[in-house]
Structure 1
Amino acid sequence: MRFVGERQSHGDSYDLSVAPPWRGWPPDDRQLPSVRGLVSADFTVVGGGLAGLSTAYHLLRYAPGADVAVVDAGHPGAGASGHGTGLLGPRAGPPVDRAIRRHGPDAARRMHLASEDAVASALELCRALDVPVRTGEQLVVARSPEGLARLSGQAAACRALGLDVPSLSAAGVRERVDVPCQAGLLYRRAATLDPAQLTAALARACAAVGARLYGRSPVVGRSGTGSGSGSGSGGTRLLFPRGELRTGAGVFAVNGGAGALGLPVGTVAPLEVHAIATEPLKPAAREVLGEGSGASVVDAARLAPYFRLTPDGRLVVGGGRASLPGVVGTARARRDDRARLATWGWLVERVRGLHPLLADIRVTHRWTGRIGVTLDDMPVVGPVADAPGMWFIGGCGGHGLALSIAHGAYVARQLAGGWEGGWEGAGGPSLPWHRSAAPTLPLGGVGRVVLRRYLERLDRGVRKTA
């Protein structure tokens, strides 16, 4: 397999796109104004990804006429929402067998069913926004001893909970996708899509129904206002490089950026993950990789590669090393750069092993994205303790495509109910993982070292088995 523009000399380098192959990437953030001077809003959404934009979109449905502002440090989709691999499938929190052990069977079942509802909500939103979606199955397969052990535990748990997640033999998997494996699980409610296109469509829809969108506006400080700045009796003051925004309520939809803003939501670690995309495949290769069934494939082993086809026949592959990025310009960051190249190369080798028809395919795109991960694998969706009227969304652990949309709708309902009733809230929580904070692990000093070593151990393990 070759990268586009690969030079076969000592000190090889690669001349290829370092962004995803999504249409219209990257958007022009200069089209959006930045926050300047003193601005106010009933609701402010910090973060222009899928979670933030879903919150704004649903707020204007539940509270028509409200003044809603969306602010982003760059532009909508500049973060994780524009860098995902486009697999839409059910999963919230840890795998279902681990969820049973930690939270009990009733909670584990509720979590899985809520994630299926999230997939359905995402598909409904795509239809409403006219975003193309390829519905199909999601296969979780075992290709190593570790993967088989994890898959067996998940299959038993699904049976115990009465979930509609049938087991597949190796032959059953190969009927759908002709790749080597030992067994699989079939998730019927799944799809694939262009995540950047969905994010852009959602941003346009928010603007069309009255939301004000701001770009190039990183939050540099925050405090309580002490008096109403929107329609409520309290609020939050957000500071930006060239302005200030006072808001009655809203949401920090910043995922792994919580630590940089000093939000008291526990530890949502910002991990960097890797992906590649190939040139459009020939028809024979597309057929063996599941074009007919629309299936996506996820390996049951941790960090092992997962893949799906795009509408134009490219193979998108993610997985491999997850890292806690170092500070730019430091020795640690330079080591991360070398490890990033090695991980992309490792993904290429894994693609080569999927099928002989892929032996000479070219890779045209490679990129990284940031996900937010908590110590217990559970998302954080709840009010922020020291910011009156403000909520937080984050920590989906790489399963945020469906969950982010569902979380935005959920938070919007809570905020809209409070707005109509004097900020008193919209009733009790309904999400199985509603909470205001994750467990804490300081990401400086010893805590950072411990997390890095754990991630490096996982990386070594997957390289041996995948």
Structure 2
Amino acid sequence: MRAPVREELGDGETSPAGGVPCWAPSADGAPGRFTTVAPAARISGELTADVAVVGAGLAGLSTAYHLVERDPSLDVVVVDARHPAAGASGRGTGLLGPRVGPSIDRAARRFGPSTARRMHLASVTAVERVITLAGELGTSCGLRTGEQIVATRSAAGLASLARQAETYRALGLDVPVLSAAAIRERVDVPYHAGLLYRSAATLDPTALSGTLVAACAAKGVRFHDDSPLRGLRPGSGAAVSELLFPSGTLRARKTVLAVNAAAGRLGLPVGTVLPLQVHAVATGPLDAEAREALGGATATAVVNSMSLAPYFRLTEDGRLVLGGGRAVHLPGLSPDRAAALRTATWNWLEERLRLLHPRLAEVPVSHRWSGQIGMTLDDLPVVGNVGGHPDLWYIGGCCGHGLAMSVAHGSYVAESIAEPSTTARGPRAYPWHRDRAPRAPLAARPVRGLLRAYLDRLDREARRTP
């Protein structure tokens, strides 16, 4: 298999077009390299490694970190088209919540009660793993442990949450229903009802990524930046795989492609992992009363039950981050149209922010940004071998739940590489351990048109959501 790449591999947008996250590390606000680690050289000449990790987001960094934790003698190389966390891992909103895949009631119908239960418990463990990892790394990463509420102010949302609550109870899972009054005790925003996820947190995803880079480098992991993957020749049997870059090659016994939605550009046979641009805004630091009203005491994050409707959280320094709005499939859009949609979505988020609470009416919005997530057609991630090659792994398609799951997937793949009998072919295999997602022919104009029509409908429904 050889996969030509038509553009650089990287799944976020750079400033100024993609805006500036409120945790951008550089002095000028651009999503720059981490100050704790010097910029790494690009791949040049012929290099070798025991394990090559392509993609220096949280999934790739977690894979490298857990590999060298398990076996310090391994020669691990991490390569990125730009630099660590240049893509989605540096442009998220920092929510750690215990959910993965479709809603629990849909998961139980589709996969059966036992698998649905395993899926939820795996997502709870993923959140706990990130919290533990921050402690291991000796950094707070802006971490605030608390609760996450999935809430609604619509009749349709109430019906959906009721179905989910019934399924959680039937599966013996601790996800209680909150009344409107119980929600107001945590955040002073009127919702009709909600589901309470106790194992949750928020953090600064860029800080976590930077700390992982430093920890990996301290353990001997080599980094190469500005090296977009141009092609791949998998090895067979005892042969090594060969990764092709503009200025050199890298040969490795095992390869992990932590590339999320960029799989399509590489031509990887992992099904369709759809790149969607999503949006967020952040305020300046709020006053004490506003922080208290919006979950400051309990570190509660609120997610609307309606897809794409606004969700919010507070940062460690008291900013309010609000995400949601239109999801955009950029391929095929003109730059002017993409920019117009981005600006319109940011403006709508700012309008919704002003309506969230009276104390936000005059608060300045200090940051606006967009980032890319990888969606699959069945809402499940893809973590598994590529094209039947046991030494070639892919991680991606977390469908908007990538912070906790990316770290967990990296740990899982590292364990699978080191001890394959305990994970991939053992009782601890993820329910979504698979080599591909369902496929859609997105290159076909009619299919792209149907996709955009569907995203437009979701956007209209989100705008009507109270």
For normalisation by structure 2, the TM-score amounts to 0.91
Q: Match of 1:435?
A: 434
- Find out whether 1:311 has 2:303 as its counterpart: no
Could you say what secondary structure the match of 2:433 adopts?
coil
Tell me which of 166, 175, 191 is aligned to 1:181: 191
Structure 1 residues 17 and 433: alpha-carbon distance in aligned structure 2, compared to 1, 3 A threshold: closer
Q: 1:165 to 1:317 in 2, by over 3 A?
A: same
1:379 paired residue among 378, 381, 387? 381
Measured after TM superposition, the shift of residue 461 of structure 1 is 1.2
Q: Does 1:87 align with 2:95?
A: yes
Partner of residue 205, structure 1? 215
* Partner residue of 2:284 out of 279, 284, 292: 279
User: Is 1:458 aligned to residue 458 of structure 2?
Assistant: yes
Q: Share of identical aligned residues, percent?
A: 56
Matched with 1:74 is: 82
Measured against aligned partners, the alpha-carbon deviations of 1:206-237 in whole angstroms (never above 9, x if no partner) come to: 1111111110000011113457xxxxx12211
1:357-372, aligned counterparts within 5 Å? Answer: 357-372=359-374
Per the TM alignment, residue 427 of structure 1 is displaced from its structure 2 partner at its CA by 3.8
What does the per-residue CA deviation read over 1:145-181, in whole Å, with 9 as the maximum and x for residues that have no partner? 3322222221121111111111010000000001011
**Equivalence for 1:27:** 32
Residue 172 of structure 2 is matched in structure 1 by 162
- Decide which moves more: 382-391 or 198-207: 382-391
The residue matched to 1:270 in structure 2 has which SS?
Answer: strand
Aligned partners of 1:273 and 1:267: how far apart in 2? 18
Deviation at 1:83, TM superposition (A): 0.5
Aligned partners of 2:153, 2:17: CA distance in 1, in Å?
A: 30
Pairing 1:248–2:253 present: yes
Q: 1:324 aligns with which of 326, 329, 335?
A: 329
How far apart, in 2, do the equivalents of 1:207 and 1:270 lie?
30
Amino acid at match of 1:464: R
Residues 84-110 of structure 1: CA distance to partner in whole angstroms, max 9, x if unpaired? 101111011111111111111111101
User: What RMSD, in angstroms, separates the aligned Cα atoms of the two structures?
Assistant: 1.9
SS for the counterpart of 1:410 is helix
3-state SS of paired residue (2:52)? strand
State the Cα distance separating 1:342 from its structure 2 match: 0.9
Q: 1:353-384: per-residue Cα shift (whole Å, max 9, x none)?
A: 11111111110100001000000000000000
Q: 2:349 aligns with which of 331, 347, 350?
A: 347
2:111 corresponds to 1:103: yes
Offset of residue 460 of structure 1 = 1.1
Which letter does structure 2 place at the counterpart of 1:107? T
Provide structure 2 residue ranges, at least 5 long, that are not aligned to the other structure. 1-15
Q: Is the 8 A contact 2:64 2:216 kept in 1?
A: yes
Asked whether the equivalents of residues 258 and 395 of structure 2 are also in contact (C-alpha less than 8 Å), the reply is: yes
Contact 2:412/2:423 (8 A) holds in 1 = no
SS at match of 2:419: helix
Contact 2:424–2:433 (CA under 8 A) maintained in structure 1: no
> Any idea what the Cα deviations from partners look like across 1:7-27, whole Å, max 9, x if unmatched?
xxxxxxxx9992111152433
- 1:328-362 CA-to-partner distances (Å, cap 9, x unmatched) read xx63x321211111111111111111111111111
The answer for unaligned runs of 5 or more in structure 1 is 1-14, 228-232
Q: State the shift of 1:290 in Å.
A: 0.8
Question: What per-residue deviation string (whole Å, max 9, x for no partner) do you get for residues 386-425 of structure 1?
Answer: 655110000100101111111001100111236xx9xx99
CA distance in 2, matches of 1:27, 1:348: 25
Which residue identity lines up with residue 46 of structure 2 in the other structure?
L
The question of whether the paired residues in 1 share the 8 Å contact of 2:18 and 2:371 is answered with no
User: In 1, distance between residues paired with 2:199 and 2:275?
Assistant: 28
Tell me how far 1:48 sits from its aligned partner: 0.1
Scaled by the length of structure 1, the TM-score of the pair is: 0.91
Distance (Å, rounded) in 1 between the aligned partners of 2:356 and 2:230 = 46
- The aligned amino acid for 2:312 is F
Q: Write the distance in 1 (CA, Å) between the matches of 2:416 and 2:448.
A: 35
Residue type at the aligned position of 1:411: V
Q: Give runs of aligned pairs for residues 197-236 of structure 1, distance below 5 A.
A: 197-225=207-235, 233-236=238-241
Conserved 8 A contact 2:278-2:373: yes
Kept in 2: contact 1:382–1:435 (CA 8 A): yes
2:269 corresponds to:
264
SS in 1 for 2:197: strand
Task: Please say if 1:45 is aligned against 2:53.
Answer: yes
SS class of match (2:321): strand
The corresponding residue for 1:8 is none
Q: Tell me if 1:172 matches 2:182.
A: yes
Contact 2:18 2:370 survives alignment (8 Å): no
Equivalent AA in structure 2 for residue 433 of structure 1? W
